[in-house]
Amino acid sequence: MPVNLSQNHFELFGLPARFAIDTATLEARYHELQREVHPDRFAAASDAERRVSMQLATRVNEAYQTLKSPLRRAVYILQLRGVDPEFETNTAMPSEFLMEQMGWRERIEAASEKPEALLRLQAGLREESRKIYETLHDQLDEGLNDEAASQTARMLMFYEKLADEIDDKLAELET
């Protein structure tokens, strides 16, 4: 297949491989690319073109989702640099952080039946995540400290899990 699938996601979108990203530009590029490759553009084309179109539209969607999510973007940058963030294997987190996590968990559990309290916790989590994004920007874009960034990305993963838990609880309250 002559299509250049070896381009990385940043190259595909014509963006620098940095954690700090202009989301408006990212979205605009995404739409421009899909305008070219989306299967709806090739419904009347040959089978070969339709096949390629589906592959490419899939690829563009995957790239967009990866770059849009701060966690996935950080992990992707680390992978591009040949660093394994060891999500599965490295569970050694600072005890201070783990204590903090337990605190969050307890508060979420206590708020299980109270949507307002859950929403407050959600807002608090967003604020924490925002701070982590700044740290990731410092470590990945400025300091180029990949090891520290891996640790920060693992922390972010913990926060996202908490956010998912709150989402699930809110969803449960609605059914």
Partner 1 sequence: MALLQISEPGQSPEPHRHRLAVGIDLGTTNSLVAAVRNGIAVVLNDHDGHALLPSIVRYLRDGQTVVGREAEAEQARDPRNTIVSVKRFMGRGLKDLTYPENSPYDFLDSPGMVQIRTVAGVKSPVEVSAEILKVLRARAEETLFGKADGELAGAVITVPAYFDDAQRQATKDAGKLAGLNVLRLLNEPTAAAIAYGLDNAAEGIYAVYDLGGGTFDISILKLSKGVFEVMATNGDAALGGDEFDQRLFCWVVERAKLAPLSAEDTRLLLTKSRVAKEFLTAYPEARISAALGSGETVDVTVTQKEFQDMTRPLVAKTLGPSRKALRDARLEWNDVKGVVMVGGATRMPHVQQMVAELFGQTPLNNLDPDKVVALGAAIQANVLAGNKAADDDWLLLDVIPLSLGIETMGGLVEKVIPRNSTIPVARAQEFTTYKDGQTAMSLHVVQGERELVSDCRSLARFELRGIPPMVAGAARIRVTFQVDADGLLSVAAREATTGVEAAIAVKPSYGLTDEQITQMLKDSFDHAKEDVHLRALKEQQVEGGRMLEATEAALREDTDLLSAEELAAVRAELEALRKTLSCTDHRTIKSAVERVNRATETFAGRRMDRSIKRALAGRKVESF
Task: With contacts defined by CB under 8 A, name the span among 61-69, 72-80, 88-96, 128-136 that binds partner 1.
Answer: 61-69
How is residue 82 written in tokens? 């040949």
Q: Indicate the DSSP class of residue 111.
A: T
Q: Which of 23, 43, 95, 123 binds partner 1 (CB under 8 A)?
A: 43
Q: What is the 3-state secondary structure (H, E, C) of 160-174?
A: HHHHHHHHHHHHHHH
Give the C-alpha separation, 139 to 124, whole Å.
23
Query: According to the binding rule CB under 8 A, does residue 169 interact with partner 1?
Result: no
Note whether 37 and 53 are within 8 A (CB): yes
Collect all residues with Cβ–Cβ distance below 8 Å to 107 and sequence separation of at least 6.
121
Q: Which of 6, 23, 47, 82 binds partner 1 (CB under 8 A)?
A: 47
How is residue 154 written in tokens? 């693992």
Query: According to the binding rule CB under 8 A, does residue 33 interact with partner 1?
Result: yes
Query: According to the binding rule CB under 8 A, does residue 130 interact with partner 1?
Result: no
What's the gap between Cα 69 and its chain centre?
A: 2
Nearer to partner 1, 35 or 105 (CB): 35
Task: With contacts defined by CB under 8 A, name the span among 23-31, 85-93, 103-111, 128-136 that binds partner 1.
Answer: 23-31
Query: According to the binding rule CB under 8 A, does residue 98 interact with partner 1?
Result: no
Region of residue 144 (phi > 0: left; psi between -120 and 50: alpha; otherwise: beta): left
Burial class (CB in 10 A: 0-12, 13-18, 19+), 17: middle
Query: According to the binding rule CB under 8 A, does residue 46 interact with partner 1?
Result: yes
In the complex, what is the shortest distance from the CB of residue 119 to partner 1, in angstroms, rounded to a whole number? 10
Give the C-alpha separation, 148 to 144, whole Å.
9
In the complex, what is the shortest distance from the CB of residue 131 to partner 1, in angstroms, rounded to a whole number? 19
Q: Which of 75, 101, 147, 171 binds partner 1 (CB under 8 A)?
A: 171
Q: Catalog residues that contact partner 1 under the rule CB under 8 A.
A: 1-4, 12-16, 18, 20, 22, 25, 29, 31-40, 43-49, 51-54, 56-58, 61-62, 64-65, 167, 170-171, 174-175
